[in-house]
Amino acid sequence: MLKPFQSAMPPLRLALLASLSLTAQAEEVQQLDAVTVRPKTATTPALPLSAPAVVEGKRREQIEATTNLTDSSDALKYLPSLTVRKRYIGDFDHAITATRTSGTGLSARTLTYADGLLLSNLLGNANNYTPRWGMVAPEEIERVDFLYGPFSAAYSGNAIGGVASFVTRMPEKTEGHVSSQFFSQGFKLYGSDKSYQGGQLNAAVGSRAGALSFWVSGSHVDNTSQPIGFVNTAGTTSAAGTYTPVSGAVADRSTAGADRWVLGTSSEIHTRQDNARIKLAYDLSPTLRADYSFGLWTNHADRLSSTYLRDAAGNPVWQGNVLVNGQRYNIASTSFANSTQDAEHQMHAFGLKSNSGGKWDWSANFSLYDYAKDIQRSSVPDSSKSETVNAAGTAGRITDMKGTGWRNLDLAGVWRPQGRSGAHEASFGLHDDHYQLRTVVWNTPDWIAGSPGSVQGITRYSQFDGSTETRALWAQDVWKFAPDWSATGGLRYERWHAFNGALASAGSATQYLPERHEQFFSPKAALRWQATTDWSLRASLARAYRMPTVAELYQGSVTAGSVVNNDPNLRPENARSTELTAEGEDIAGGVLRISLFHERVRDALYSQVNAIAGGTVTTIQNIDLIRSQGIELAWRGDNIAASRIDLAGSVTYADSRILKNDKNPASVGKKQIRVPDWRASLSATWHQSPRLSWSGAARYSGRQFGNIDNSDVYEDTYFGNTRFFMLDAKAVYQLTSMLKASIGVDNLGNNKAWSFHPYSQRTYFVSLKADF
């Protein structure tokens, strides 16, 4: 048991987290071979390592100029091959990063760090295990880097897709920041035609007094999303009985191309989030720093539904037998069920690190993340009674995840036998983590305010518990064996343990699952050659094992409109990755990169989502073999055209296919879920004057599928996964030395795109910021 979860500390509403403790994981992406990328105000890395594969990044100034930034995930928006599936501003459970070879449903295939502190939620591998983006305030970001692929021994197999690393800053003098932002989108789809608005407030203050520095900040977001779920007639019954003629249904097609009717919306989310962070650092000596960070995230969300249907008298129709255009359907009582969520999550982090730059440096980091409160209430009308959907006194369920959380410990060191300029830089470390899942679902006679109670003779509806632990040792050496050559070799050993698995369904006794132990070795290698003054070549190889998450093993669920089938016998993913890269300096005034990538994943872990009447069924399974390969071109140039224009662009082609799947032979030869064939991005910033800049950007994503057999042939619909082309723009004007204003728009062309749920349509931003 993870005892600290049992006694969560009281809420600190004005505290804010972002860690200062840099481990080798974060520092690895700070240096591209021998060139350290380090803004003057960034925290000095303690353990700089050479990157064994492609790294792309952006500085704070570039992010602020090009991006309509509402949280830290937006900083990745225009980096090559990356897509963050953020459906709306404030999306707290689906903002997952997709990479070259992994789609937006595979949250456990990408790692996210801030100053060495892990922000990834590795409890599960699905859309609702979003990185803790709110634990980094936009004002804190100094730069963000992305290391592509699992080529570093410092990272677990969760880096199959790559590693995002945020570098934040600490103040050298007293400073403060206050900003406000307003956003609005007009959304028109099916029978919905409405404008949705929201706002955000941010405040931060920091200072240094001798050896002590601190940073305190907080933010509040209040936003209502566009409808992201829709009730439809796919799979509904048409038994004999009395049917009410209704109007308002909208003709539609399923992803298989079958005719259906859309009856209304099932999820418009009004979210109110507060993030509070505090970080303290104390310089014990010129080369030794200790730090502490605390973060608090609270969220209250209401998932609301609305019906398009009206009877002959104009009254809304929510359930029962209906007659739509002469066709008979039965609307289940749960189809338009509402739900609410109240959550309070806390994170603590402690760090100690040295940065002597001599023969030895080291770091130690410990972090703890606690679901101090996480309760979801949903309306589930009692079929034995005549209950009104969503009304007070209607039966429902309470899902309580208190006690869920994780902890991480990382110890790392670096040895430079001849100092920083020597032939060798060896790094090594120890990692220990513990993830625990605690979920109990209760019936309640009143879904809005009731306590757990009997509904149709059953009080505890279901329960899912389980834990996993991983202990790892790793070592890596960068050897400059000739003036123009360097080689990187690494090895990672991991011992994984799954235990305390327990399942219980309605009215049944608890089923206890056996423990599991696995251990693996993951070798890594890279070779780099500076072929000419301008061109370098690098080959990288890696094996990585991605262990099943505790949710994949143990977290089944049955909620209104959603069923998840877990599997405690899932095998780890086994990935073999290769990358060949050529990079040229001063090519058309910028840096040109060409990368070939190839990946083979055996026993790939997937959550396959299938539509059913009134909801979905998710089945977690191993796919025998998936092969992904392709080419990526990226170019970036800063301060070109008389130092007034910044340009960056990329194009990626990927062919990702299922080569073997004994559980579903129809999927063999088909494309991997949610990995598009083409992706491209382009961003440009014109610095008209020191006070005014104009930016424009374009994002393109090609054809992709949501079913492993690619049976979703019709993409422009609910459950579909579409191509999209989106244009964004932003203008920033420095009004005074302290006051800055910006206006912007995302999805300027109002592209109606789907990634199972609909993306936001045209959205406007207005922001005002004061720095003092």
Q: Give residue-wise pLDDT tens across range 532-587.
A: 999 999 999 999 999 999 999 987 655 545 566 778 899 999 999 999 999 999 89
Q: Which residues contact residue 494 at a Cβ distance below 8 angstroms, ignoring those fewer than 6 apart? A: 156, 157, 470, 471, 472, 519, 520, 522, 545, 547
pLDDT interval class at 5 (50, 70, 90):
very low
CA-to-CA distance for 575 and 654, rounded, in angstroms?
17
* Chain-centroid distance, C-alpha 406: 17
Domain total in the chain: 1
Report pLDDT for 756: 93
- CA–CA dist 358, 368 (Å, integer): 31
Average pLDDT across the chain, whole number: 89
Q: Report the pLDDT value the prediction gives residue 406, as an integer from 0 to 100.
A: 97
pLDDT in tens, 255-267: 999 999 999 999 9
Residue 19 CA: distances (Å) to CA of 233, 274, 407: 49, 18, 15
Produce one character per residue of 735-751: b if its CB has 16 or more CB atoms within 10 Å, e if not: eeeeebebebbbbbeeb
- The pLDDT of residue 590 is 92
Give the pLDDT confidence score for residue 24 in this predicted structure: 35
Please give the pLDDT value at position 240: 75
Confidence of residue 508 (pLDDT cuts 50, 70, 90): confident
Q: Are strands 110-114 and 162-168 parallel, antiparallel or unpaired?
A: parallel
Which CATH number is 766's domain given?
Answer: 2.40.170.20
Distance spanning both ends of the chain, measured CA to CA: 46
Q: Which residues pair with 1 in a beta bridge?
A: none
Q: Which tokens in the block code for residue 614?
A: 């009134």
Tell me how far the alpha carbon of residue 451 is from its chain's centroid. 33
The reported pLDDT for the residue numbered 691 is 95
Q: How far is residue 702's CA from residue 715's CA, in Å, rounded to a whole number?
A: 11
Residue 14 has pLDDT above 80, yes or no: no
d(CA 530, CA 538) in angstroms, rounded, equals: 9
Given a contact cutoff of 8 angstroms between Cβ atoms, the answer to whether 260 and 230 are in contact is no
Name the amino acid, one letter, at 444: T
Spatial CA neighbour of 189 closest among 763, 757, 765, 764: 757
User: Residue 150: its pLDDT value, please?
Assistant: 96
Q: What is the mean pLDDT of residues 362-373?
A: 95
Tell me which residue range forms the domain holding 457.
Answer: 3-771
pLDDT attached to residue 409: 96
Share of residues in the chain with pLDDT > 70 (%): 91
Q: Give residue 615's pLDDT.
A: 59
Task: Report pLDDT for 236.
Answer: 73
Which residue, among 706, 703, 734, 699, has the nearest Cα to 720 in the 3D structure? 706
- The identity of residue 170, as a single letter, is M
CA dist., res. 289 & res. 46, Å (int)? 10
When pLDDT is averaged across residues 335-343 and rounded to a whole number, the result is 94
pLDDT band at 509 (very low <50, low <70, confident <90, very high): confident
pLDDT score, position 385: 75
pLDDT of 608: 67
Statement: residue 336 has pLDDT above 60? yes
The per-residue pLDDT for 612 is: 55
Both tokens of 505, joined, read: 């369904």
Distance CA 674, CA 766 (A): 32
Q: What is the pLDDT of residues 45-73, one digit of tens each?
A: 333 345 799 999 999 999 999 999 999 99
Give the mean pLDDT of 167-177.
Answer: 91
CB atoms under 10 Å from CB of 148, counted, come to 28
Banded pLDDT at 19 (limits 50, 70, 90): very low
The yes-or-no verdict on residue 11 having pLDDT over 90 is no
Helix (H, G, I), strand (E, B), or coil: what is residue 130? Answer: coil
- pLDDT of 241: 80
Q: If DSSP codes are grouped into helix, strand and coil, which group holds residue 107?
A: helix
Q: What is the pLDDT of residues 591-605, one digit of tens each?
A: 999 999 999 999 999
Q: Is the pLDDT of residue 6 over 70?
A: no
Predicted local confidence at residue 169, as pLDDT:
87
* pLDDT interval class at 333 (50, 70, 90): confident
Sign of CA dihedral 360, 52, 145, 297: negative
Q: Please state the φ and ψ torsions of residue 685, each to the nearest 5 degrees.
A: -130, 125
Indicate if the pLDDT at residue 41 is higher than 70: no
**Quick check: 27 pLDDT over 60?**
no
In the predicted structure, residue 471 carries a pLDDT above the cut 80? yes
Q: Identify the pLDDT of residue 190.
A: 96
User: Residue 560 has what pLDDT?
Assistant: 47
